Amino acid sequence: MASGGRMVEMGMDTANTQIFRSTVLLSSGEEGVVFSCRGRQRFCLTILEGWQSATTIGPFGGPDGKPWDDGSGHTGVRGIKLTYKGAVGSFRAVYDLNGNPDLGPGHPSGDFSYRPGDAYFNFREGERITGVSGHVGVVPYDPTTTPVVRSIKFTTNENIYGPYGVEEGTPFNAQIPDGAFISGFEGRSNGYYLNSIGFHQRTP
């Protein structure tokens, strides 16, 4: 879970899942970010005191595929699962939500030949992503004529995960400042490839 801001949580059970975010003025005079927590049969509001509103980094990749956004209301990233071969296929993140794991929505690939290239890693307590890098480009001998995410690598304060895929094309490299954290991923997927990837970032 991210540190640096004070969190106040209110919650209740509900059959609906909602995502929204707004800014409130706290009694201390600071601005707090209020956002909903996505989860099964659960609804809560969290106030992050001392954290700025999320900024979006990226996306990196091409314009094809259906856009998706996991939201910016998480308190960190706990793990990532993806498939890869000549490019990155499917992508799914496990987020932190006030100290609890929150499985993000899947963005699958229908190309079953990517299944042998599975990568699934969980971050240890205190481990956070400090950089996201990789390559974007067109896959040779493929009907897709626009760039996709050919490779991706995650650097943390403790380890390096990847690169996954093929390091060909135009490189990208996004660094997360000290004290900041990723609060959600966004991107585009066409059912075969991860066409683009970006993320929401919060800083103190």
Supply the pLDDT for residue 2: 45
Supply the pLDDT for residue 43: 35
CATH label of the domain that carries residue 154: 2.100.10.30
Task: Choose between 63 and 35: higher pLDDT.
Answer: 63
- The model's pLDDT over 147-197, given as tens digits with 9 standing for 90+, comes to 999 999 999 999 999 999 999 999 999 999 888 999 999 999 998 999 999
Supply the pLDDT for residue 19: 38
**Torsion angles phi and psi, residue 114, rounded to 5:** -85, -15
Residue 85 pLDDT > 70? yes
H/E segment holding residue 84 = strand 77-84
3-state class (DSSP) for residue 17 = coil
Range of the domain at 2: 1-51
Handedness of CA 63, 68, 70, 71 (dihedral sign): positive
Domain match, 125 and 69 both: yes
Domain match, 41 and 69 both: no
Domain match, 10 and 94 both: no
Task: Choose between 15 and 86: higher pLDDT.
Answer: 86
pLDDT tier at 29, thresholds 50, 70, 90: very low
Supply the pLDDT for residue 110: 76
User: How, if at all, do strands 100-103 and 148-156 pair?
Assistant: unpaired
Domain match, 162 and 84 both: yes
Domain match, 75 and 125 both: yes
Task: Choose between 124 and 31: higher pLDDT.
Answer: 124
Going across the sheet that includes 181-189, the strands are 55-61, 194-202, 181-189, 66-69
Domain match, 63 and 36 both: no
- The model's pLDDT over 101-140, given as tens digits with 9 standing for 90+, comes to 999 999 988 776 655 568 888 999 889 999 999 999 999 9
Looking at the chain, the whole-number percentage of residues with pLDDT higher than 90 is: 57
pLDDT tier at 143, thresholds 50, 70, 90: confident
